[in-house]
Structure 1
């Protein structure tokens, strides 16, 4: 009886409005991610926890967090857990081309979704060879059709891939081959209920310093996606974390030495204190719509780019400007606390 009540409570509002609510936030199992979720549950439309993993044989592992489920019931909040594959390219390739494994995976998702009253699941498969593009589209279609029969939805997080082909540089070619090229946005948009466009990580540990997701870059990928995906199925990604670039130890474990320019994730509870510690001036880039600062340590310049509350607000504004379904934000606990001052209570 309790399970049926929970299922009705979570699914009925979402199915009645025929689409997933617009304010989607990702949740990790870390203490500060959980603390942010507890503190701001009234402003979260859908919570997307990182609970489930699938291996190459189709074995789905994971389980819900009881506290998250309790708070979701109290706030009438739909829960749509992530299903990931750990970013292991070869093993994911095996799964994509093994019909028995896919059937096992889909059966497990249906069982878990109905047992716990989830809204559905979100595919978060990354580091995929571009040759598996059609296979990913097929698995998405097969999964969505099965979930829909049981009143469950499927969303998918995709790496942005404008302009639709590999660029001329070596890095762009590598990105297309292993990150961007696997996502057929038109096919995925026809199968899935929602496309979460991960418009972040423009610059990372693989690149020189720069914005996490600059506004011109974000708009470029958004407008390209809109040529392939209906706007009521498209959610723009908003990062809450930043990156910190610095020169790390050049000595490797094998005793050899090589260049080691590091870039590490940095959350707001670390980036703002770091700026104060070194007397750095946090600056606003009016073109990229993102904040940044630099400082010297050991005689070398270090860089931090951080999407703060102002950056978050400007990206939420894109939802209204382009008539999108909403936004999906990675990740709870990393954000500038002032982000929450910008957001209304979620509509249930």
Structure 2
């Protein structure tokens, strides 16, 4: 199902996204590398022009097979600019390297790198060998969204994420303006979630069959007492019947006039959950005026009521807008700092995309991007034999290629993106992270979740 959205072209960031995106099926992947109780260090290296995988492996003293397995590559093919995770604690200094750059690409602090290499000074020499220390894993929760409404997405997709999930939000129970719920086929997903050692959350959304999040639906159950009561009773009944551990309220595109009423609804719902978890998904923003789509989410009020708040920190560029970074690091950081000023940090789960977009060029008001999993996006560049570029301010990879007489531009996160964002979550002291969605293949993210987090299990 491809989601079409009713919004103007100027609303690039106002969350008019394809939140229910076409699924690509991908390889299952080992959850993470470990040695006994200690997680084996990994770091990022970037393929040089004209280089093959055997040469990359030889440079770092590992096998090509180890790199293929760790990165979930379909084969030995690589292309210039491809960011690869290298499973080694031995790092050979390259031209242009600094302690900061090496620390950034290995997910450790400069101080930790210094402690592991006490004889190394400020000036590095090309060819010098450094030891990469074990990563400073921090305790954090991880929520993954599983859109079972999307054709091809099933509970079996949970297994690819290994032991790296605290919660699985099974998306979605559609609510209408009268508070009536339409259930998805979620039996298999609930069973698979518990089998993976995670907690299933019943995701409730004001989403129409077209994929549009409806303000009229939200207004209906927020303002009408009978509809509100019907919805709460429907949620409680489903929790008991299906065995859900809690609720994820994904109510988006709320009118600003309903923001206080939505918090009141959440407060009443939380009071009747009987200790079960309430997670609330919110759209990203850094003030209360810039983005119309997120004005209905009262960060402070929601943060006071909810147990967890999932920040959908992506879709800065979306299917109906011009090409660009989906989750640009500078804006992601700005959103998290604003959220952390209003919501207790121990409640915030910072969302990340497990996907990329491919836009046809030239960009026109009628063009729509194609959704790719993160793995498919980078593998596309390898198959096309085009170099991958990296936007340092955005911390996101991109490339262009030509097919069927048309040029196309692809943006996607890669290992460097995920390391930077997971380190930001750690440094800000947030509750953890999450991703949209579990049906996508993102093996580098799976590896780094297991490497940089000690995932909390409930």
TM-score with structure 1 length normalisation? 0.82
* C-alpha distance in 2 between matches for 1:33 and 1:315: 27
Instruction: Rate the CA distance shift 1:274–1:73 in 2: closer, same or farther, 3 A.
Output: closer
* Residues 270-281 of structure 1: pairs in structure 2 closer than 5 A: 270-281=376-387
* C-alpha distance in 1 between matches for 2:140 and 2:196: 14
Instruction: Rate the CA distance shift 1:206–1:130 in 2: closer, same or farther, 3 A.
Output: farther
Asked if the contact 1:309–1:337 (Cα under 8 Å) also holds between the matched residues in 2, the reply is no
Q: CA deviation at 1:64?
A: 5.9
Say yes or no: does 1:217 pair with 2:323.
no
Instruction: Rate the CA distance shift 1:71–1:36 in 2: closer, same or farther, 3 A.
Output: closer
* C-alpha distance in 1 between matches for 2:228 and 2:188: 30
**CA offsets per residue over residues 173-229 of structure 1, 9 Å max, x none?**
xx41xx111111001111111111111001113432110010000000000111100
Instruction: Rate the CA distance shift 1:21–1:27 in 2: closer, same or farther, 3 A.
Output: farther
Asked if the contact 1:51–1:64 (Cα under 8 Å) also holds between the matched residues in 2, the reply is no
Asked if the contact 1:202–1:212 (Cα under 8 Å) also holds between the matched residues in 2, the reply is yes
Instruction: Rate the CA distance shift 1:296–1:75 in 2: closer, same or farther, 3 A.
Output: closer
Structure 1's unaligned 5+ residue stretches are 1-19, 167-174, 251-257
Q: Answer 1 or 2: higher relative contact order, Cα 8 Å, separation at least 6.
A: 2
2:304 matched residue in structure 1: 190
* C-alpha distance in 2 between matches for 1:242 and 1:339: 13
Match of 1:65 among 186, 192, 196: 186
SS in 2 for 1:109: helix
**CA offsets per residue over residues 275-313 of structure 1, 9 Å max, x none?**
234322122222211111112345553211111233223
* C-alpha distance in 2 between matches for 1:51 and 1:133: 22
Match of 1:246 among 339, 357, 360: 360
SS in 1 for 2:351: strand
Q: CA deviation at 1:72?
A: 3.0
Say yes or no: does 1:101 pair with 2:227.
yes
C-alpha root-mean-square deviation of aligned residues, in Å?
Answer: 2.3
Structure 2's unaligned 5+ residue stretches are 1-138, 208-212
Higher Cα radius of gyration: 2
Q: Counting helix residues as a fraction of each chain, which structure ranks higher?
A: 1
* C-alpha distance in 2 between matches for 1:273 and 1:215: 23
Match of 2:369 among 255, 260, 263: 263
Q: Which moved more, 1:301-310 or 1:211-220?
A: 301-310
Query: Would you say how many aligned residue pairs link Structure 1 and Structure 2?
Result: 309
* C-alpha distance in 2 between matches for 1:276 and 1:76: 35
* C-alpha distance in 2 between matches for 1:188 and 1:268: 31
Asked if the contact 1:240–1:308 (Cα under 8 Å) also holds between the matched residues in 2, the reply is no
* C-alpha distance in 1 between matches for 2:216 and 2:248: 21
TM-score with structure 2 length normalisation? 0.63
2:289 matched residue in structure 1: 165
